Amino acid sequence: MNTQDYIALENQYNAHNYKPLDVVLERGEGIWVWDVEGNRYLDFLSAYSAVNQGHSHPRILKAMMEQAARLPLTSRAFRNDQLPLLAQELCELTGYEMMLPMNSGAEAVETALKAARKWGYEVKGVAAGQAEIIACEGNFHGRTISIIGFSTEAQYRNGFGPFTPGFKTVAYGDADALEAAITPNTVAFMVEPIQGEGGVVIPPDGYLKRVREICDRNQVLLILDEIQTGLGRTGQLMAADWEQVRPDMVTIGKALSGGFYPVSAVLSNREILGVFKPGDHGSTFGGNPLASAIAREALKVLVDEGLITNAREMGAYLKGRLERIESDHINEVRGRGLLIGVELKPQAGGARRFAEALKQEGLLCKETHQHVLRFAPPLVITRADIDWALERIEQVLLMA
Ligand SMILES: *Cc1c(COP(=O)(O)O)cnc(C)c1O
């Protein structure tokens, strides 16, 4: 079967809820992936930051194979010998008291929202059924019905209502707007330190610090969604570390498994995660031994291989070089660590055609929000590989 055969099959039998680049991948190693025709590509997307550790990392693969052979799933009806170690190692790495494991990122977000509401009723004393949660315009927190209910992206919502009440949105990066929106019933403010899907949007300096202070003053929980920005992507363990801000709850996912398996988690303290009593919440696969063993090794790889520092150094280098490209198409280059957005001018004709052209040159990336090219290679990338990528990027951005 060739590329066109696979595409035809997928189009026939699989729902069309994505519009992928027409490249059919069959193998990956480190920063590289290969398609079914034998072409090699540099992966400049990393599965939206799920493969920060690089494709098929040998250490994570080994941990996965060993655990898969031993015991993949127990359900939480019984205990297993991996979850306690993951919980301890993750809390020690991040400085939180407790974690709650789930599978997808959206589930971690749902978990944080449920915890915030229950905390609001039990600890803050909000009247039953009145809890309010504030999120940001341009947010991306996942695709469940409750989460899309407070999306401001029309396409994410259209046709899927009615939505869960109790949410409102304020402008991203505007701390005054947050303060004005808070009422005595507000239990939480949920925000991304950098809006990844929103187009790699970085809030003004000091925003998170002010948000932290406003939340403290109003007894509102600060929930940071670090599913895309966390675990080294921006050159710190968490993107909020750039402002030395500590949220009350943080959601992580994606790179927590190095791309091998869906693993997500909420990190918080005992007062907040302690609101969950047996039976309140759960997931058949959440915290399973296979997921836990994979996540334990994925975290060790991040630390042992110095990937966070590498992301900071390589990101600064890549961003600096991108800023020096003299292309009439570029409006702005923004980013932190290895999460970089190149915003093109409206007259450039959309980012998609540049992503297609880069694919032809052997570099895979994806447009986000029509005019932004997102560059987010695995954190194991070297300077020589970035130079290789830049040659292609420069060439494509200088095309007509
Ligand atoms: C990807 C992402 C999610 C959702 O994660 P899924 O695993 O796709 O459910 C939530 N929040 C942010 C910031 C993300 O980037």
Using one digit for the tens of pLDDT, what is the confidence trace for 30-50? 999 999 999 999 999 999 999
* 200 Cβ below 6 A of ligand 1: no
Task: Tell me which of 3.30.1360.30, 3.40.190.10, 3.40.640.10, 3.90.1280.10 is the CATH number of domain 58-304.
Answer: 3.40.640.10
Does residue 369 have a pLDDT over 90? Answer: no
52, 200, 227: residue to mutate for ligand 1 pocket, most atoms within 8 A of CB: 227
* 400: confidence class by pLDDT, cuts 50, 70, 90: confident
Atom of ligand 1 nearest to the CA of 228: 15
Q: How many angstroms separate the alpha carbon of residue 266 from the centre of ligand 1?
A: 13
The CA distance from 58 to 64, in Å, is 10
- Domain chopping of the chain, boundaries: 3-57+306-397, 58-304
Does residue 327 have a pLDDT over 90? Answer: yes
pLDDT for res 17? 96
pLDDT tens for residues 59-103? 999 999 999 999 999 999 999 999 999 999 999 999 999 999 999
pLDDT for res 399? 87
Q: Is the peptide bond before 162 cis (omega within 30 degrees of 0)?
A: yes
Q: How many angstroms separate the alpha carbon of residue 1 from the centre of ligand 1?
A: 32
Q: How many angstroms separate the alpha carbon of residue 396 from the centre of ligand 1?
A: 29
* 142 Cβ below 6 A of ligand 1: yes
Q: Are 235 and 314 in contact (CB under 8 A)?
A: no
Q: What is the mean pLDDT of residues 221-226?
A: 98
Identify the CA nearest to 196 among candidates 30, 47, 21, 32.
47
Q: How far is CA 212 from the centre of its chain?
A: 21
Write out the two tokens for 351. Answer: 């980012």
* 253 Cβ below 6 A of ligand 1: yes
Catalytically annotated residues: 140, 225, 254
Q: How many angstroms separate the alpha carbon of residue 265 from the centre of ligand 1?
A: 12
Burial (Cβ within 10 Å: 0-12, 13-18, ≥19) of residue 129? exposed
Q: What is the mean pLDDT of residues 210-220?
A: 98
* 105 Cβ below 6 A of ligand 1: yes
What is the pTM for the complete model shown?
0.98
Atom of ligand 1 nearest to the CA of 254: 7
Q: What is the mean pLDDT of residues 373-393?
A: 98
* 141 Cβ below 6 A of ligand 1: yes
Mapped onto helix, strand or coil, the DSSP state of residue 277 is: coil
Atom of ligand 1 nearest to the CA of 197: 15
Q: What is the mean pLDDT of residues 194-209?
A: 97
140, 192, 195, 238: residue to mutate for ligand 1 pocket, most atoms within 8 A of CB: 140
* 189: confidence class by pLDDT, cuts 50, 70, 90: very high
The CA distance from 145 to 164, in Å, is 8
> If you take atom 10 of ligand 1, which residue's CA is the nearest one?
141
Does residue 182 have a pLDDT over 90? Answer: yes
Q: Measured at the alpha carbon of residue 162, what is the angle toward residues 100 and 179, in degrees to the nearest 5?
A: 60
228, 264, 266: residue to mutate for ligand 1 pocket, most atoms within 8 A of CB: 228
The Cα-based distances of 93 to 90, 97, 270 in angstroms read 5, 11, 17
Q: Are 33 and 43 in contact (CB under 8 A)?
A: yes
> If you take atom 5 of ligand 1, which residue's CA is the nearest one?
105
Write out the two tokens for 204. Answer: 């003004």
* 13: confidence class by pLDDT, cuts 50, 70, 90: very high
Q: How many angstroms separate the alpha carbon of residue 2 from the centre of ligand 1?
A: 31
Task: Tell me which of 3.90.1150.10, 1.10.3720.10, 1.20.1050.10, 1.10.10.10 is the CATH number of domain 3-57+306-397.
Answer: 3.90.1150.10
Query: Hey, what amino acid is at 235?
Result: G
pLDDT tens for residues 282-314? 999 999 999 999 999 999 999 999 999 999 999
* 192 Cβ below 6 A of ligand 1: yes
Task: For the chain, report the end-to-end CA distance as a whole number of angstroms.
Answer: 35
- The rounded mean pLDDT for the chain is 97
Q: How many angstroms separate the alpha carbon of residue 347 from the centre of ligand 1?
A: 30
Element (H, E) at 10: helix 3-13
